[in-house]
Amino acid sequence: MLSRQATFVSAIVATMLLSEPALAQVKAQSVDAPKTPGKPERNGLRDARDKAMDIGAQPARDFGMAKREIPPILQKAYDAPYSLKTSDTCAALETEIVALNGALGPDLDSEGANNESRDGKMAEAGGKMVVNSLIPFRGLVREISGAAPADRHLNNLVDAGLARRGFLRGVHLAKGC
């Protein structure tokens, strides 16, 4: 039987092998990707590498040894999703919308919102399945370690960020900006 370290290394190798087609496709797509104003251009290969690193770090998050960084803009949106205290001008509205786009990703009607590759999604799902299968009783471990409540809190922050972005876009449109 394999040791725990050998199993972990095998899972990482499997994840990287499964994600290889996605890396190739993302690399090919990144050449013609449109530039989004106000957001630095991301390299498709770096995005795939970030996803692979995120998948590989999942067991550490499950045991509470690593935490995800929460963007301050999401915490601000959670605290006051419908406030207009700091967003009274068109420029301030646009700045906050761009900041939310940076934390949440592109909005539904933006150019880069639907640039998904089926192969990339399958590789990501396969990698997650392999890594997540390493921990027996994973759900219980996540509850005990605090990882599950932390993920629920992060999901609430993301929901508040989405609500805030929609609200600000409505205000932006109503002001005629």
- Sequence ranges of the domains in the chain: 4-174
Q: Side chain identity at 150, as an amino acid letter? A: A
Tell me the pLDDT tens digit for each residue of 95-129.
Answer: 999 999 999 988 888 765 566 677 777 877 887 78
Task: Report the predicted TM-score, pTM, of the whole model to 2 decimal places.
Answer: 0.62
Check: CB of residue 34 under 8 Å from CB of residue 115.
no
Who contacts 172 (Cβ-Cβ below 8 Å, separation ≥6)?
90, 93, 94, 97
